[in-house]
């Protein structure tokens, strides 16, 4: 794979011109990231490690193999011997939509490819919710948007850097339903009324606002994010693990009910919009935008 330029989630949501500027890849910071040697592969641009009872999923740039890998990696976490699952982004980018693989984006407008992507999108959200291990999303700036937001907000806990932001620009960017989990996880966390503000009016939540309205659990300076997650992991691991897993299982019954009744139906609605002629044009425009931004291609 080759990356063009310096820029570093499924799904379809992309920022409008305002959001696109805000979501450009963040340059490397001076703070050193803690490194772990990967112990599992085969998930595309996803590194997986299991160490000290923690199953860590580090997600890189989104392309076909990575989207497919996301549809399997949370089941692998569920089947692991770890106690807690932590999901974060490589180089601090949590599936930044401005770094999606250009060719993968173009395949969204191809019917057979769309069906495959939709099945994977359903598996991603379902497997996060069904994973009996507690899941923690660790989100650095620029934050979690589109599919990245769906994955982060489907986790049990979201801990974000204080300069991170959250949004789901499916409607504003492509004119499509937020069907990859957004219509499920946002209302579950903050209620339907507030969710409409973000899913239909293109609002972007700062970390502080996200904390205030209950969208995320904690917000700390970026240089304290690892330590904050470590404290949460230690607390969860200090309890009887059978009790922890059954507690999560039954708390998540609320989300399972919503998912079974309405959640994945939004994928069908999103697919209906995909067949509209305007959608293909929006995909073409988005691919051009990525190229102009110094985008990324697996070609």
From the list 136, 49, 245, 114, the residue with the least C-alpha distance to 144 is 136
At 64, is the pLDDT very low, low, confident or very high (cuts 50, 70, 90)? very high
Share of the chain above pLDDT 90, in %: 55
Residue 49 domain flag: yes
**CA torsion, ordered 143, 147, 153, 159, to nearest 10 deg:** -30
Counted domains in the chain: 1
CB atoms within 10 A of CB 160: 32
Residue 195 domain flag: yes
The whole-number average pLDDT for the span 86-113 is: 87
Expressed as residue numbers, the domain containing 203 is 2-294
At 176, is the pLDDT very low, low, confident or very high (cuts 50, 70, 90)? confident
- What value does the mean pLDDT of the chain take? 82
Residue 114 domain flag: yes
Residue 128 domain flag: yes
Residue 274 domain flag: yes
Residue 210 domain flag: yes
Burial label, 2 (beta-carbon count in 10 A; 0-12, 13-18, 19+):
exposed
Sign, CA torsion 172/168/34/102: negative
Residue 148 domain flag: yes
Q: What is the CATH number of the domain that holds 90?
A: 3.90.226.10
At 72, is the pLDDT very low, low, confident or very high (cuts 50, 70, 90)? very high
Instruction: Read off the tokens for 161.
Output: 């850097």
Asked whether residue 12 carries a pLDDT value surpassing 50, the answer given is no
What is the pLDDT, as a whole number, of residue 177?
73
* Beta strand pairing call for 143-145 and 84-89: unpaired
- C-alpha to C-alpha distance for 141 and 89, rounded to whole angstroms: 10
Whether the CB-CB separation of 9 and 94 falls below 8 Å is answered with: yes
From the list 59, 77, 55, 76, the residue with the least C-alpha distance to 67 is 59
Asked whether residue 13 carries a pLDDT value surpassing 90, the answer given is no
Residue carrying structure tokens 């499920």: 184
What is the pLDDT, as a whole number, of residue 120?
92
Residue 299 domain flag: no
């Amino acid at each position: 794979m080759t990356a063009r330029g310096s820029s570093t989630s499924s799904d379809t949501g992309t920022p409008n011109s305002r959001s696109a500027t805000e979501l450009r890849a963040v340059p490397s910071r001076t703070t050193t990231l803690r490194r772990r040697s990967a112990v599992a592969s085969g998930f595309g641009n996803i590194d997986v490690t299991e160490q000290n009872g923690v199953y860590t999923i580090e997600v890189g740039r989104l392309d076909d193999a990575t989207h497919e890998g996301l549809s399997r990696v949370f089941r692998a976490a569920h089947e692991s011997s770890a106690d807690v699952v932590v999901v974060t982004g490589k180089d601090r980018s949590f599936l930044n939509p401005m770094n999606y693989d250009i060719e993968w984006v173009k395949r969204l407008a191809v019917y057979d490819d769309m069906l495959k992507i939709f099945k994977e999108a359903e598996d991603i959200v379902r497997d996060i919710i069904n994973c009996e291990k507690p899941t923690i999303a660790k989100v650095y700036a620029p934050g979690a948007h589109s599919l990245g937001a769906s994955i982060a907000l489907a986790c049990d806990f979201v801990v974000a850097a204080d300069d991170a932001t959250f949004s789901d620009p499916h409607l504003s960017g492509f004119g499509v339903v937020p069907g990859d989990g957004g219509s499920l996880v946002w209302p579950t966390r903050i209620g339907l009324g507030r969710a409409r503000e973000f899913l239909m009016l293109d609002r972007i939540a700062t970390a502080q606002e996200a904390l205030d309205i209950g969208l995320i659990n904690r917000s700390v300076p970026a240089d304290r994010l690892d330590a904050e997650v470590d404290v949460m992991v230690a607390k969860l691991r200090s309890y009887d693990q059978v009790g922890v897993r059954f507690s999560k299982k039954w708390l998540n019954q609320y989300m399972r009910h919503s998912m079974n009744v309405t959640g994945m139906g939004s994928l069908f609605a999103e697919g209906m919009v995909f067949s509209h002629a305007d959608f293909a044009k929006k995909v073409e425009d988005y691919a051009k935008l990525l190229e102009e931004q110094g985008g990324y291609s697996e070609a």
